Structure 1
Amino acid sequence: MTVSAQSPDDAPSAVRLGLRENWRQFSLLALINALVGGMVGLERTVVPLIGSETFHIASASIVASFVASFGIAKAFTNLVSGQLADNWGRKHVLVLGWAIGLPVPFMIIWAPSWNWIVAANLLLGISQGLAWSMTVIMKIDLVGPKSRGLAVGLNEFAGYAAVGLTAFATGWIASATGTLRPAPFYPGIAYPVLGLALSVLLARDTSAHVRLEAARHAPAAPARFIDVFLRTSFGDREMFSICQAGLVNNLNDGMSWAIFPLFFAARGLGVEGIGTLKGVYPVVWGVLQIVTGPLSDRLGRKGLIAWGMWVQALGLFMIAALDGFGWWLLASLLLGLGTAMVYPTLIAAISDVAHPSSRARSLSVYRFWRDMGYAVGALLAGAIGDAFGLAAAIAAIGGLTFVSGLVVALMMPRR
């Protein structure tokens, strides 16, 4: 089925759904999202060490505040990004996200105090909430209902592979130069400039694809945002189980972002080794999503989500209980595997349930709860770490992750 559509960015053309039919734009959006992920990877290894070694902050809670500021800003930006996308167009929101991210690397490089790092992460969270949200939504728009898991898997592969590779690169640069600033952040100057240029010059809006898919569904009455928020968050049993799993998944990722570098450094691991461990986890997560995304299209969503949460919990328990680089590396591989099982599957599951006319808003609500997990995880782990030690914080978050898998197993229907 084709329709003629015209947008400010495109001449009249036949609009079709499918990965093969839209592979050029899909590939471009994957590249753009790799650059979005690279911006997060800049901070995974070095920034917590800047807090402890450059600014001499002893409290894990204070060091974790930069992750909390990122998570809160990204969560609330996610909440409005779907509405902005519907009202203003996907491309415009994508461009705005990149524009907001331009100052971030300079603020980190020149930061005279920890407050500048926290402020930079507020901007980074807003930028990510707009730019990453749009790359996901636009890919789902392009491929249609048959390949949502594949689309999300490829998108998250591009983003999180870049997170991991950049985390490894910043650790290596810091080790090679013997300094935590400014050299590890030089790639972060190129990422937003290139991402903004590609988004402005080559990306095309996907609103026509949404209208085409919506025409194949029974008409839906216009929904208020508050109704979409309540249904996605609490009113629908399936969506609730998905949202809580997303929150807990990013809760343990926020903990790992803030606490793992401090934990490994306290046990004598150097910055290059920390960068390796911090890089392996998101690289495995990113690469395996190429498999787990389309696998969820064939096997269903529920099993991958529940088992993925339990595999993550096992990895966290191993890091807390065992000592040595080899054990930590194995546990990081398990964390990456478990997250790869969960991450694209959750987004595809929300897309399955939501009507196309409100899908962007339902995804934004899910992403609000998911990314609020960054803040909850960082602050909770910091508080537990200050009171009982970093190993206890990691183990506690592992317990929450296991319970979240149980919630999915008991509440989410099998499709």
Structure 2
Amino acid sequence: MSAESNPVRLGLVANLGQFSLLVVVNALVGGLLGQERILTAFGEDVFGITSYTTALVFIAVFGAAKAATNFFAGSLCDRYGRKPVLIAGWLVAIPVPLMLMFAPDWSWVIAANVLLGINQGLTWSTTVIMKIDLAGPNRRGLAMGLNEAAGYVAVAATSMATGWLAAEYGWQPGAFSLGAAYVAIALGLSVFAVRETAGHVDLEAESHIGGEHGLSTRQVLARTSLTDPTLSAVSQAGLVNNLNDGLAWGLLPILFAADGLSVADIGLIAAIYPAVWGFGQLATGLVSDRLGRKQFIVWGMLVQAVGLAAFAAADGFTAWVSAAVILGVGTAMVYPILLAAIGDTVHPTWRARAVGVYRLWRDAGFAIGALAAGLLADNYGIPTAITVVAALTAASGIVVALRMKETLRR
């Protein structure tokens, strides 16, 4: 079909088919991650790992690999286009579920998580960038809410399903069989159905107001990380958000297991937090398009701090479910809005790289959080580790309140 008969247009309605397809692809990205949310219980049950620091190494290497890949994903998208980067991410993922299904020791799990980090950095970053491309400036919050909701609802569903599969059929190979199906479906969709969105960037750039055109990658890195008050505030909030998520991912299943919860119950609680987070983003992203970004980020970080403090003080299934809901609400208030704020602030010609830098810092939080939480838990206990991270999360919200400017153009 010619360009004249199929013109490039911006907006969710104008690009509904491709946008919906990318929502499905991102759900599969999240699903592949979801099978890992109770891996610390897997390590303890199958390989007898009792050191918190050792158990959380798999999250640290995942976070480091994903953070580094995020940075390069933005530049690769600008240089080669979005679709080739998306396909490359799914090719990297092919061995991941197989390595978990047949791992003879914990080193295989760590190696699988290096590949998973690369996969997530390439695929999740690219689906974010492509949705921002398609949506244009007017519904950016809604677009990011839909994107992140799809990913984290899939994380929740697959976490619960993995716990059920492990309880019914054992950890290997049954618990990780869903991941192999996710990779096959997503690779097929990415190759045969997803279309390139670079043309939408060119269209938006023609009418974009504000932001400097043509920055180098070094300049983008400096601005997003440090010199621009709004972008740097957003980046540190993303880092702290995933720092506390790394703690929740790694330590909470161990805390629940120590209290005698079954694998199925652990999977259920591990699913509630990303489920509330995922569905909540459908509302927060949309409302932020009307009310603005900053207040959601500030209050969301503070609500997350309350949820973490509740985990430290709580005991028993019901109390932990309540804490998971609070933490999920706080994360939903923050997660898509941070991405929308980046898209609001930067010029379309360097937006992909800015998103990559932001996601570099955000996912570095997984590595920092996993290692810090493991060391604190080994030396002072899990409740102390959770309390320290809760305090850091509250401090991050205060930094946003002091440094960030509202980014939504009314």
| TM norm. shorter chain > 0.5 | yes
Alpha-carbon offset, residue 12 of structure 1: 6.2
Q: Are 1:290 and 2:282 counterparts? A: yes
Tell me, yes or no, if structure 1 residue 131 matches structure 2 residue 123: yes
Is residue 190 from structure 1 mapped to residue 176 from structure 2 by the alignment?
A: no
Q: Deviations over 1:298-323 (max 9, x none)?
A: 11111100110111111111111111
Contact 1:156–1:344 at 8 Å: present in 2 too? yes
- What is the deviation of 1:176? 2.1
Residue of structure 2 aligned with 1:34, choices 13, 27, 37? 27
Query: Alpha-carbon deviation of 1:414?
Result: 2.9
Match of 1:105 in 2: 97
Rounded to whole Å, the distance in 1 between the matches of 2:200 and 2:2 is 9
Note the 1:2-401 alignment, pairs <5 A: 13-45=6-38, 47-177=39-169, 179-217=170-208, 220-401=212-393
Match of 2:36, SS? helix
Give the gaps of 5 or more residues in structure 2: none
Provide the rounded CA distance (Å) in 1 between the counterparts of 2:374 and 2:291: 38
Cα contact 1:5–1:208 (8 A) shared by 2: no
- Whole-angstrom distance in 1 between the partners of 2:291 and 2:150: 23
Deviation string 1:59-87 (CA, Å, 9 cap, x unpaired) is 10010000001100000000010100000
Structure 1 residues 106-161: Cα deviation after superposition (integer angstroms, max 9, x where no partner): 01111111111000000000000000111111011001000000000000010000
Local SS of the residue matching 1:146: coil
Deviations 1:187-244 (A, max 9, x none): 1110010000000000000010000000112694422111100011001000111000
Number of equivalences? 406
Counterpart-to-counterpart distance in 2, 1:49 and 1:248: 24
Q: Please say if residues 140 and 340 of structure 2, whose CA atoms lie closer than 8 Å, have aligned partners that are also in contact.
A: yes
CA distance in 2, matches of 1:220, 1:43: 40
* C-alpha deviation, 1:51, in angstroms: 1.5
SS of residue paired to 1:13: coil
Amino acid in structure 1 at the alignment position of 2:204: E
Instruction: State the SS of the aligned residue for 1:323.
Output: coil
Distance in 2 between residues matched to 1:326 and 1:95, nearest whole Å: 42
CA distance in structure 1 between the aligned counterparts of 2:174 and 2:8, rounded to whole angstroms:
45
Deviation at 1:49, TM superposition (A): 1.4
Distance across 2 between alignment mates of 1:375 and 1:318: 23
Q: Given that residues 247 and 371 in structure 1 are in contact (C-alpha distance below 8 angstroms), is that contact kept between their aligned partners in structure 2?
A: yes
SS at match of 2:7: strand
**CA deviation profile, 1:274-319 (whole Å, cap 9, x unmatched):** 1111001101111111100011111111110011011111111111
Q: CA separation in 1, counterparts of 2:125 and 2:232? A: 20
SS in 2 for 1:112: coil
Larger mean CA deviation between 159-168 and 405-414 belongs to 405-414
Match of 1:15, SS state, is: coil
Does the CA contact (< 8 Å) of 1:312 and 1:335 recur in 2?
A: yes
Q: Which amino acid aligns with 1:197?
A: G
Return the offset for 1:13: 2.4
Q: Which residue identity is paired with 2:219?
A: D
Q: Is the contact between residue 251 and residue 382 of structure 2 (CA under 8 Å) also seen in structure 1?
A: yes
**RMSD over equivalenced CA pairs, Å:** 1.3
Aligned position for 1:413? 405
Code of the residue aligned with 2:18 in structure 1: it is Q
Q: Which amino acid aligns with 1:188?
A: G
Question: Taking every aligned residue pair, what percent have the same amino acid on both sides?
Answer: 52
Which 4+ runs in 1 deviate beyond 6 A? none
Unmatched 5+ residue regions in structure 1?
none
Q: Matched residue of 1:204: which SS?
A: coil
TM-score by length of 2: 0.97
Letter in 2 for 1:186: S
Under a length normalisation based on structure 1, what TM-score does the superposition of the two structures give?
A: 0.96
In 2, distance between residues paired with 1:254 and 1:186? 24
CA distance in 2, matches of 1:35, 1:259: 25
